[in-house]
Chain A
Amino acid sequence: MLRLVVGVGSPHGADQVGWTVVDRLKARRLDDATYIKVANPIDVLDCLGECDELILVDAVHGLTPKTIQCWKWPNQQITDGADGGSHGLGIVQVLELAGELQLLPKRVMIIGIGVEQGRVSETWMPSQEAEIDAIVEEVETLYA
């Protein structure tokens, strides 16, 4: 099975959690998945190719900070609550578009990691290695 794991985020503050987790997963080399990072959710569409499974890892507001939640796509819960904003398409809109264009693999999973509102400029992440390691291990179990 061709698994694609995509970290969504940026190099800034708590928003980097998706990228950091994907970097750590890639470094652990526990499977032969393809790991990539994107800053703009629409760039996920560029990466779908021939994968059988897509796993998106992203920071999420609304979850308790540093907790993890996993959603299988399609999921009415996150569709209804989605607000992609106007600066490009959000993950939900991108997945809907990919579905409409028949680009999605059969299995799609979104792994959300709770971050605090307004913490974008702060750097709780790299400085707290143990927390990151715990998050990475939990994420890994979710799709293992």
Chain B
Amino acid sequence: MDDTSPKRKIHVPILTRVEGEGALNIVLGRDSIQRVELNIYEPPRFFEAFLQGRNHNEVADITARICGICPIAYQMTAIQAMESAWGIQISESIYRLRRLMYFAEWIESHGLHIHLLHAPDFFGCASGLELAKKEPVAVQRGLKLKKIGNQVLELLGGRAIHPISLAVGGFFRLPRREELLQLVPQFEWGLEASIAMVRWIGGFAFPEFHSPTTYVALQCPQEYAIMKGVIASSDGATVDVGKYEQCFYEEHVEHSTALHAHRVGNPLPYQVGPMARVHLSFDQLSPTVRELAEEIGWTLPSFNPYHSIIARGLELVQAFQEGLDILKSFEPKVQARVAYETSEASGCSATEAPRGLIYHRYDLDQSGHVSRAKIVPPTSQNQRQIERDLVKILPSLLSETDENIARRCETVIRNYDPCISCATHFLKVRRTKGVE
């Protein structure tokens, strides 16, 4: 088949059940894949540019607006970067409370994605609504799990959407102990419900699909890494967060308004997110979670991206179990916020957003205003791996109808729970046939 051969062009103009808007363009020859492009067309939002000149106290509020699903990831990474710049040390108690807040975001995001966005694919359902007809108990469970995440964010953050309590040096306000203890019953229920959820997921029929990749995530020997650690990869390399920009870079591609992330000196894509975290920090998961993985027969390594729903489910159990410990043990008789002085400095941080590694760096002036900002969201790092998965799966779909190809490709993309709005770019599919 040469370039003059008839081609099938598949264009999915709007991807469904993903966060944000993007399209998928596929050009197929008679028996070959000629082009696969994840086309993120949400307009660039220029957050990095309009952070310039802003006071550091505004950064958390501004970056939270990047995403309504994962504002904590943006706020926490930004605040940690500025604390790093000025050498601010927070207490262990404040760190644990922030970790609980981060877990709440995972609970909300994972709970929603698993039940309403991802699980429908395993039941042949086009939507969460269809799944609700088949699996009403599971969908109700998902909604209740998500609600618990919201409740924690409302308590710790002041409100569930774009919380306002996180501050450089700690929190603007700490919850009272009795407020935290009121959440214990919900977390006890959430722990049992999430364990049941993983068993439910374990019964899914997973498509056979093997797509080797390099997993990249934070890794910390003391805990399941979310907010600190080194950046580790499954090929054995580790790098300090401070050297992220020496080892990773972004480039613009014509077909997407999102930047594509690369590793320096390595042309292959890499993958961030729950699969990467579970692979790189399996030993730091609780015994309950590890036993649950064994119980459902999930063994590592796994390079089946459809298994990401298992990884997400296990993380949900970890979040409830560890969150329960924090709720029960937190003693709020600590200083909410440590004092600090601004200076001309630069600082960076990486944390684990629900969808994977997120990196921020800020250059700050003497008065604490931002002179330069850099933000690398998870989805821009996963885009190349998503395209690679699509290229890998398409040969097995060539005999399918356009509609089926589009549907299967969307399931591949949803494995990554991509957040297009965060990446400022993503997916929708329309398919046409003709001669290019």
Contacts and interface: CB of A to CB of B under 8 A. Distances in A.
A101 to B, nearest CB: 6
B68 A40 contact: yes
Interface in A36-65: 39-40, 42-43, 45-46
Interface of A: 39-40, 42-43, 45-46, 85-89, 93, 96-97, 100-101
Contacts of A45: 143, 147
B150 A86 contact: no
Nearest to A46: B147
A30 B251 CA distance: 57
Interface in B98-157: 112, 116, 127-129, 132-133, 136, 139-140, 143, 146-147, 150
A93 B129 contact: yes
Nearest to A102: B136
A88 B147 contact: no
Instruction: With a 10 A CB-CB cut-off, give which of A46, A87, A88 has the most chain B CB atoms.
Output: A87
A87 B113 CA distance: 12
A100 B150 CA distance: 22
A101 B150 contact: no
Nearest to B428: A86
Given A40-B68, A101-B140, A86 B18 contact: yes
Nearest to A38: B161
B136 A97 contact: no
Contacts of B147: 45-46
Interface string B370-412: 0000000000000000000000000000000000000000000
B258 interface: no
A100 B136 contact: yes
B14 interface: yes
A40 to B, nearest CB: 6
A79 to B, nearest CB: 12
B415 interface: no
Nearest to B150: A46
Interface string B146-172: 110010000000001110000000000
Contact of B19 (A42, A43, A87): A87
Interface string B12-24: 0011111111000
Given A43-B160, A101-B132, A101-B139, 16 more contacts: A39-B161, A40-B68, A42-B112, A46-B143, A46-B146, A46-B150, A85-B21, A86-B14, A86-B19, A86-B428, A87-B421, A93-B129, A100-B136, A101-B136, A101-B140, A101-B143
B66 to A, nearest CB: 13
A88 B19 contact: yes
Contacts of B421: 87
Given A39-B161, A101-B139, A89 B20 contact: no
A87 to B, nearest CB: 6
A43 to B, nearest CB: 7
A46 B428 CA distance: 29
Contact of A97 (B18, B129, B146, B150): B129
Contacts of B112: 42
CB-CB nearest 7 A-B residue pairs: A39-B161, A100-B132, A46-B147, A97-B129, A96-B129, A45-B143, A87-B19
Contacts of A86: 14-21, 420, 428
Nearest to B116: A89
A15 B146 CA distance: 24
Contacts of A93: 127-129
B64 to A, nearest CB: 12
Contacts of B16: 86
A46 B146 CA distance: 9
A100 B68 contact: no
Nearest to B15: A86
Contacts of A89: 116, 128
Instruction: With a 10 A CB-CB cut-off, give which of B15, B17, B132 has the most chain A CB atoms.
Output: B132
Given A39-B68, A45-B143, A89-B116, A97 B128 contact: yes
Contacts of B129: 93, 96-97, 100
Contacts of B143: 42, 45-46, 101
A42 B128 CA distance: 12
Contacts of B69: 88
B140 A87 contact: no
B316 to A, nearest CB: 17
